[in-house]
Amino acid sequence: MPVSIETFLADLRALVECESPSADRAAVARSADLVARVGTTRLGVAPERITLDGWSHLRWRFGDGDRQVLLLAHHDTVWPIGTLAARPYRLTGGVVRGPGCFDMLAGLVMAIHAVAGLAERTGVTLLVTGDEELGSPSSAALIEEEARRSKAALVLEASADGGALKTARKGVSLYEVRVTGRAAHAGLEPDKGVNATLELARLALAASALSDPAAGTTVTPTVFAAGTTANTVPAHGSFAVDVRAWTNREQLRVDHALRALVPLDPAAVIEIGGGVNRPPLEEPSSRELFGRAAAVAARLGLPPLSGTAVGGASDGNLTAGAGTPTLDGLGAVGAGAHADHEHVVVDLLPGRTALLRELVAELLEDES
């Protein structure tokens, strides 16, 4: 590592102790201020501050051109303000604990320190976003723009089990199915109403039936709401749908089928909102980068790398969807993302940071 593990952990502790729940734009702005200070200290140059729809993002760009190596991280977390009081930063038995340490503040510190350790940085861009945990509503276009000018995207999300890199991710689509019916008194004249709850129940079953277990496609109705009072035929209601798929083909199949749903009662009106949130990161997008990372690990004397496919999505889905070779899960080794037992294994941080640094250096050496 370019600096001591003690310095690395001091930077990590500072970030963990600056709570940054994604939906709290003021907290994300404070976190961005801190990340900018830490990064400026380590890299010797301040980042560009990019504020989109109130969310704070940071970009360090070294050099220019359309063949850059993009390092991608985020500084927002899922934990609400006050979590730190119950679960403070702790370093015990070679393990760091604290909200956001694994997902993905340790990976962010790794990115900063890896770039700081490069002998030549020209051609590197480090993009740190502040709304990833919400599905990147403000930063998605920015990420895709950076991806299109990059020859490789390296994503500092936490590793999978055992330190495995993430070589494929399911795509995510998010929908809201809304039904408008007609209210009526449930006791006096229910036959004069158009029952939105009944329509929604039927539609939820129809949506769930679009799942394809053999293809790994899941279509899951989630939050459901309808009606106003217990004695009124519901005139309005909605439910959310979460779709996960390994391929673009499957994602589009479900999209078309959901939008083709029709009401049983012709007097009811169906509206389908939402759509594709993140495309899949398909395995071919990561294949060559994984092979190079495995070779770098062997050269550094690190344990052999493994890769795995995961159901969760990240901003790596966006870079892969833009057509950029993408390797994900290069961040810290540990466990417990979004859970109370979230932790990072300290002894593995130097090797993972060295792997990232040397992989970036090798990619920079390639002819553009």
Whether residue 15 is predicted with pLDDT greater than 50 in this model: the reply is yes
Residue 130 · residue 22 · CB < 8 Å:
yes
Whether residue 305 is predicted with pLDDT greater than 80 in this model: the reply is yes
- Reported as a single tens digit per residue, the pLDDT across 235-277 is 999 999 999 999 999 999 999 999 999 999 999 999 999 999 9
Whether residue 289 is predicted with pLDDT greater than 50 in this model: the reply is yes
Q: What mean pLDDT comes out for the span 121-143?
A: 97
Q: Which of 350, 359, 360 is nearest to 12 (CA)?
A: 350
Measured CA to CA, the distance from residue 171 to residue 217 in angstroms comes to 10
Whether residue 59 is predicted with pLDDT greater than 60 in this model: the reply is yes
Q: Give me 193's structure tokens.
A: 């109403």
Q: Give me 39's structure tokens.
A: 């990064």
Model pLDDT, residue 36: 98
Measured CA to CA, the distance from residue 273 to residue 177 in angstroms comes to 6
Query: Chain-centre distance of CA 162, in angstroms?
Result: 20
Q: Which of 11, 103, 131, 132 is catalytic?
A: 132
366 φ, ψ to 5°? -65, 150
Domains 5-170+280-365 and 171-278 share a fold: no
Confidence of residue 131 (pLDDT cuts 50, 70, 90): very high
Confidence of residue 3 (pLDDT cuts 50, 70, 90): low
Q: What would the 3-class secondary structure string for 234-271 be?
A: CCEEEEEEEEEECCHHHHHHHHHHHHCCCCCCCCCEEE
pTM of the entire predicted model: 0.92
SS3 157: coil
Model pLDDT, residue 64: 86
Determine whether 132 is an active site residue. yes
Whether residue 368 is predicted with pLDDT greater than 70 in this model: the reply is no
Whether residue 2 is predicted with pLDDT greater than 80 in this model: the reply is no
Residue 303 · residue 329 · CB < 8 Å:
no
Model pLDDT, residue 66: 86
Model pLDDT, residue 1: 47
Helix (H) or strand (E) holding 351: helix 349-365
Whether residue 327 is predicted with pLDDT greater than 90 in this model: the reply is yes
Q: Which of 76, 250, 282, 358 is catalytic?
A: 76
Residue 117 · residue 2 · CB < 8 Å:
yes
- Tell me the fold of 5-170+280-365: Aminopeptidase (3.40.630)
CA angle 255, 134, 45 (to 5 degrees): 125
Determine whether 11 is an active site residue. no
Q: In what order do the strands lie in the sheet with 343-345?
A: 90-92, 95-97, 343-345, 334-335
- Reported as a single tens digit per residue, the pLDDT across 85-96 is 999 999 999 999
Which listed CATH number (3.30.70.360, 3.40.50.1980, 2.60.120.10, 3.40.50.2020) goes with 171-278? 3.30.70.360
Whether residue 175 is predicted with pLDDT greater than 50 in this model: the reply is yes
Domain residue ranges of the chain, discontinuous segments joined by +: 5-170+280-365, 171-278
- Chain mean pLDDT for the chain: 97
Q: Give me 62's structure tokens.
A: 């070294």
Model pLDDT, residue 367: 60
Q: What is the dihedral angle through the alpha carbons of 62, 66, 71, 72, rounded to the nearest 10 degrees?
A: 120
